[in-house]
Structure 1
């Protein structure tokens, strides 16, 4: 840092030079005269006061300015609530010469616009920064120094729009100060939960969306509400399911009833005697001619209806295995699959949770295979999709009242075994007012304008997939806002911490910008001066003291 002192008083005219010399001579003469007259009391005070008076007069005439120049290759902008110890640590460890609050830097730029060109790398400490400042520093290299509070969300994401029956995934990061429970709730019902350890923790909570229309749940940390979760649920095009039973069993019947309650058309065929089958329908009064999914057991894997569904590039789910090694060979031979199992335990069953067990086998990985993370269920895709479940009976979960786990098991299974819908909408939530949000639509229709909020948009088409359209949109109102013809998306207030964080990430990216700054010497000069009124006040004050002093 370099400190320079300059004067606004110009010595380029004869009159200014004469004035300055006259003041200096008068001041020196008076000080010398007072110094010789030591007979009067308190002469030292008189000399001091007169010296200060003439210095003040000189200051008022010369108007000194103080210019402090410092290295600006790196500057730090910080929130006012950041602890001083944190700021000092960052400045020392990163060798940052200058630091400003947002208000200070804006004021400095307004007073000295040329400063912007002299700023190199910008370090941001905190999250609460307004676009007014960030927009002025767009061409700089950014580095972000997060300053988090305990038990605060670092990030969060969920689907703003999804189909009924699909899995809603709420994921993010949180700084937990102790071991505690993070949970998703509707009222007092827990949809999913996770035991957090102390520290910065990634979380991923999952539950099936079964309420059509505008839905809401809440994210809780212990007894503290962290974030309301708003999302819209679309009705999925009706799927037709055939449940083939070699014998009547409660597991298949419970699953069929569950799918019926979720809007599926279900037909149940049960072999009750040789050449005799019992037929029963749910959500339809007529026999179903074409099926999207067949749920059956290994003994019926070679059934003609099963092969026909796979030939139509549709799906089969095989449950109720009892002798996995033998039954997977039968399935592979009948359907051309490549299931391979290894025994994982000598026990008859593996306990996964209360009222839920699985066969003591593991499904080996395969190139064309996708496995569920939490359960021993996998799907192979060649022509059509074939799902295999190693779970034992799951209906005891329903009998014990644990419908949340039951829903999660079969919703995630159906999501994996059934193909994606040809028409889908993707909106990453939370969506904040006045912050751009990307909306994606996978559609068969082309060249159709979108109705979003109060505007009509012309979407862009993805270069990778002509059916994938997208557009960035900035909502201007909070609450539920219209999306397309019959949907809605919930828009949050942009004053909350997560909104500031999302706005900041638009500028900073993943903590570091791709922009590169040349390694050159940059410096900024901070200039300050005393107001002429301050000099006047000081002169009047000293004159008053000189007048009062003889009366002491």
Structure 2
């Protein structure tokens, strides 16, 4: 049939060429006759090539290895080609979004004979383990909008501030308001810039104890739950030493009292004579500070001149309690010029000149709401110290250093009561809560320390890292979970558990009870995506395709010539004949 069609087309085209050439030859005007004859032949030849399949034989390189595409959540349709055929997925939602993909039960079904490409956010850490070192090429999707990184302390003591820190990815052109809520009440908020990844820090002081679940919202969109277990404790016992009455000591004593701290105040009246006050604490003798007396407190605070005026016996007792028993010290800088062991790591620079204008302070990473006049003095940073309060220009106003098992906090701030006078109780509370919590003596109660490789989600394997002294059964929700000792860390045991439902999970080990929280799958979507992208990139970098070499095979095939060339030739020939006829 094809041969007959070719003969018919060729016959008709030859007859047409002969007729059109005879017409041109018969014209009286013989000008450009040769060009006219060539144009006629070219036009008829173009018609023939349009009607007939014109092609040639050439070499095409093909790949010896077949390509398998694994689609994961977040993939982009535009990244796939129409010729891609072996497309699979392990996720039902991906199958619904892209029906061409074949749904497989697990990554175990992937063939090692094929070159694997993964599109989307990638696989979880557990999913990557199932690949058993199978190499692949990763095509990561863009990070979605939302909270991509988040951290907070899961266990707090009553009165401690809860800090929620993280990174928010905002690809939109509008600002986003991030709100921390508890019992549907806004506790803290921050506005984030558009088209940027911004770090944030939200804080609150929980008023109740027990297991509490806070929430984090971006405008009206729920990002995820923030579970915290708050334990009730004995009130922090604070000993205040004062050389003379001042507003800073007075306001601080009142604030400690109002917030439930146990406070004892020793104020000097004259040499070796003191006046004592006791609030929320039993009376005890403060005439002489012994190791027994200091052992009843968690924090001792006062001016540098007060500590410098202590007797040698009191100084030795104070050093022993701090170094051996973990007592905390908060030392306020003053004009005392006497050298002290307390200031060894806290050199103070007192530049001359105009006092800086009041400004906002950075308290434990968060900017104060109200400005404060902080004076010209600041602490010179030294290795081994940790700045706690700074100016916006980076000057250190409060810093911490270890002294044995205890901590010494040194501060140049002496008029924080100005915040209280200005009605900024929140800034005042944030400052002194941070300093007291950093300095306070730590308890030695043995707890079940449970850590995770990532946020635990329902119906997903959760790898528990349990720190314990000896092997003992681990039960979660009444179910015994097998554990394996960590080869690198002898006192750590790893256990795998699949939470059947979202919420608090109760765990018992060696007679100790603890709880941790499993999140619903729609919680922290951007965090899950960021974690998958990071883990998959790391795996792909460690398992590069080296053993699967794609070898090119050259195969001869027939290649069709595009018809557009013949249409152009026909149009050019006809145009020449028309123009030549008009000009003749």
TM-score, normalisation: structure 1: 0.66
Aligned pair 1:277/2:270, yes or no?
Answer: no
Q: 1:407 aligns with which of 411, 429, 443?
A: 429
Instruction: Report the equivalent of 2:546.
Output: 518
Instruction: Report the equivalent of 2:374.
Output: 358
Instruction: Report the equivalent of 1:213.
Output: 210
Cα offsets for 1:336-387 (capped at 9, x unmatched):
6232233577315642251533232332222221112656211122344221
Q: 1:122 aligns with which of 114, 117, 124?
A: 117
Unmatched tracts of structure 2, length 5 or more: 3-60, 90-94, 285-291, 361-367, 392-396, 552-584
RMSD (CA atoms): 4.5
Task: After TM superposition, give the deviation of residue 161 of structure 1 in Å.
Answer: 2.7
For the 8 Å contact 1:106–1:133, the answer to whether it is kept is no
Written as runs of structure 1 = structure 2, the 5 A alignment for 1:9-408 is 76-78=69-71, 82-85=75-78, 87=79, 100=87, 102=89, 103=95, 107=102, 116-126=111-121, 135=130, 139-141=134-136, 143=138, 145-150=140-145, 152-176=146-170, 177=172, 178-186=174-182, 187-191=184-188, 193=190, 195-208=192-205, 211-236=208-233, 239-259=236-256, 264-287=261-284, 289=293, 290=295, 291-302=297-308, 303-304=310-311, 305=314, 307-312=316-321, 313=323, 314-323=326-335, 327=336, 330=338, 332-335=339-342, 337-343=344-350, 346-347=354-355, 350-352=358-360, 353=368, 354-372=370-388, 374=390, 376-383=397-404, 384-398=406-420, 400=422, 402-408=424-430
Distance change >3 Å, CA 499–CA 249, structure 1 → 2: same
Task: After TM superposition, give the deviation of residue 159 of structure 1 in Å.
Answer: 2.7
Instruction: Report the equivalent of 1:481.
Output: 505
Cα offsets for 1:199-244 (capped at 9, x unmatched):
1223343445553211233323345443332211223566432111
Distance change >3 Å, CA 122–CA 299, structure 1 → 2: same
For the 8 Å contact 2:123–2:535, the answer to whether it is kept is no
Distance change >3 Å, CA 265–CA 226, structure 1 → 2: same
CA distance in 2 between partners of 1:169 and 1:71 (Å): 56
For the 8 Å contact 1:462–1:470, the answer to whether it is kept is yes
Task: After TM superposition, give the deviation of residue 318 of structure 1 in Å.
Answer: 3.7
Query: Any idea what SS the aligned residue of 2:359 has?
Result: strand
For the 8 Å contact 1:78–1:124, the answer to whether it is kept is yes
CA distance in 2 between partners of 1:261 and 1:439 (Å): 41
Pair member with larger Rg: 2
Distance change >3 Å, CA 440–CA 253, structure 1 → 2: farther
Greater shift in the superposed pair: 422-431 or 234-243: 422-431
Cα offsets for 1:507-536 (capped at 9, x unmatched):
62647452233253359xxxxxxxxxxxxx
For the 8 Å contact 2:299–2:441, the answer to whether it is kept is no
CA distance in 2 between partners of 1:248 and 1:509 (Å): 62
Distance change >3 Å, CA 401–CA 119, structure 1 → 2: farther
Distance change >3 Å, CA 157–CA 270, structure 1 → 2: same
Cα offsets for 1:281-319 (capped at 9, x unmatched):
233224283133211111112224454232221344345
Distance change >3 Å, CA 115–CA 274, structure 1 → 2: closer
Query: Any idea what SS the aligned residue of 1:351 has?
Result: coil
For the 8 Å contact 1:73–1:521, the answer to whether it is kept is no
Unmatched tracts of structure 1, length 5 or more: 1-26, 29-67, 524-552
CA distance in 2 between partners of 1:509 and 1:164 (Å): 41
TM-score, normalisation: structure 2: 0.63
For the 8 Å contact 2:481–2:496, the answer to whether it is kept is no
Query: Any idea what SS the aligned residue of 2:548 has?
Result: coil
For the 8 Å contact 1:453–1:482, the answer to whether it is kept is yes
Instruction: Report the equivalent of 2:579.
Output: none
